[in-house]
Amino acid sequence: MTDQQSRATGTGQRAGAGRYEVRLPSHGGKIVYARTLNEKRVLETAERIMAKAEQKLRS
Give the tens place of pLDDT for each residue, 1-59: 444 445 555 555 555 556 899 998 888 889 989 999 999 999 999 999 999 999 999 98
pLDDT of residue 15: 52
What domain range is 48 assigned to? Answer: 3-58
| pTM exceeding the 0.85 threshold for the entire prediction | no
pLDDT of residue 42: 95
pLDDT of residue 1: 46
Per the structure, the count of domains in the chain is 1
pLDDT of residue 53: 93
Burial of 44 (0-12, 13-18, 19+ CB in 10 A): middle
> Dihedral angle at the C-alpha atoms of 22, 29, 3, 17, nearest 10 degrees?
40
